[in-house]
Amino acid sequence: MSVGDFLALCGEILLLVITVLTCIDLARVRDRARLDIALVFVALAIDVIPRLLPRLGVDPGLLSLVQPLARLAHPYLLLRLVDHFRPIRGLVSWGALVLVAAAWGFLLFAPEVTVTSWEWAVTAVFALLTLYSAGALASAAERGQSVIQRRMKLIAGGALVFAVLLAAQVTAALIDSLASTAAEINRAGPLVMAALYYFGFTTPVWLSRAWQHAELSDFIRSSAGSPGESSRTALERLCSTSRHAVGGLAAAICRWEDDRQRLVLDAFGERALVGGPIAFESLISEHWRFRRPFVEDRASEVREACRRLAPGLDCEALIGVPLVTTRRVWGLLLIFVRRSPLMPDEELRLLSLFAEHSALGLDYAALIEQLRGVKEEVEEEGFDT
């Protein structure tokens, strides 16, 4: 086995490992985001397995028939991921789906001679579609920051490598003198793509923690620059940072009124939100009773909850993180998200770090205010301070 073949084998095995991990994650928590990720890798696995089975002395059988179909579905499945971060025009989304269906029909029902003669053209079209998907993923990454942004850029890089692999196949079919170069690219490319997808979709814990630490350090530095600032200013900064971190549509603080045992939404100037008390029977109040971070992505129930709180937003998911310390319950950080988060666990960990630091800052600010009040009372009574 040559070095190139070994690298290709490593890349294919790594893709299968990632497929298993994403399917396990889908079985653990079933939501649209995990389903879309699993579909991306199931399609890749179907493309890879027919190349691995002959090495084991097994006939791939029908898998050889569906292999090119799965490969062509990859760019469309990538576009589905982009939709979790920013809207995809209906014309683009439906156009890509129609293109995939037309290509499948061509490969399945056209005469073999015709398919052989024009397969390069189909591959070229889908190389361009994959390139567009990679660009859309990179653009979507700009809507987030820290861990999420880095992971999305890695995924976009993997998609770009896939586009290069398709382009290499087209080049080999059209220019015989470049066939050997294209073959080398096709040997090394799968490992590069698999590595980028691995770090993007199934980021190791140590790397994720390092990115989170860097983002939290930036957040702490921004808050440390304003000693003695008001609680409202601190909460506005928390909302702004958190909304940008997860690419949300809006963010707000639901203040906890202990005497009335209710949450009150403070919109902090968000024009799309309607402030005021939150009903005890509402979806948000149900999650609040557990005092734990949550992602609510049952689209119908979220839309119902948003009819009063955010009537102008097209959101299908909510992210909530409690602002709680050992001294006081402050409330709930609530973020309105257009679609179910693509990386919910990552986003909850990052937002929990922001919320924990902000809650401690609120405790400190409240203590300072209390001490000022005591000092004023002492001075009014005429004692020497």
Q: Are residues 221 and 333 in the same domain?
A: yes
Q: Are residues 194 and 232 in the same domain?
A: no
Q: Are residues 89 and 108 in the same domain?
A: yes
CA distance 161 to 189: 7
Q: Which of 171, 203, 235 is the last residue of a domain?
A: 203
Q: Are residues 58 and 196 in the same domain?
A: yes
- 230 φ, ψ to 5°? -70, 160
User: How many domains, in total, are found in the chain?
Assistant: 2
Predicted confidence at residue 39, as pLDDT, reads: 93
CA distance 66 to 47: 8
Q: Are residues 84 and 222 in the same domain?
A: no
In CATH, what number is assigned to the domain containing residue 361?
3.30.450.40
pTM score, two decimals? 0.77
- 53-105: per-residue pLDDT in tens? 887 777 777 778 888 889 899 999 998 888 877 778 878 889 999 999 999 99
- 115-150: per-residue pLDDT in tens? 888 888 998 999 999 999 999 888 877 766 667 788
Lowest-pLDDT range, 212-221, 256-265, 357-366? 212-221
CA distance 252 to 336: 9
**Section 362-381 average pLDDT:** 75
| Token pair in block for residue 31 | 């939501």
The answer to whether residue 21 scores a pLDDT higher than 60 is: yes
More confident residue, 161 or 310: 161
Give a yes or no: residue 75 inside a domain.
yes
The answer to whether residue 383 scores a pLDDT higher than 60 is: no
Q: Are residues 269 and 319 in the same domain?
A: yes
Q: Which of 161, 186, 203 is the last residue of a domain?
A: 203
Q: Are residues 166 and 212 in the same domain?
A: no
The answer to whether residue 232 scores a pLDDT higher than 90 is: no
State the pLDDT confidence band at 42, using cuts at 50, 70 and 90.
very high
Q: List the beta bridge partners of residue 264.
A: 255, 277
CA distance 219 to 215: 6
Give a yes or no: residue 385 inside a domain.
no
**Section 343-362 average pLDDT:** 86
Q: Are residues 217 and 343 in the same domain?
A: yes
State the pLDDT confidence band at 385, using cuts at 50, 70 and 90.
very low
- 238-288: per-residue pLDDT in tens? 888 888 888 888 888 999 988 888 898 887 767 778 878 888 778 888 899
Instruction: State which residues form the domain around 46.
Output: 3-203
Q: Which of 203, 222, 248 is the last residue of a domain?
A: 203
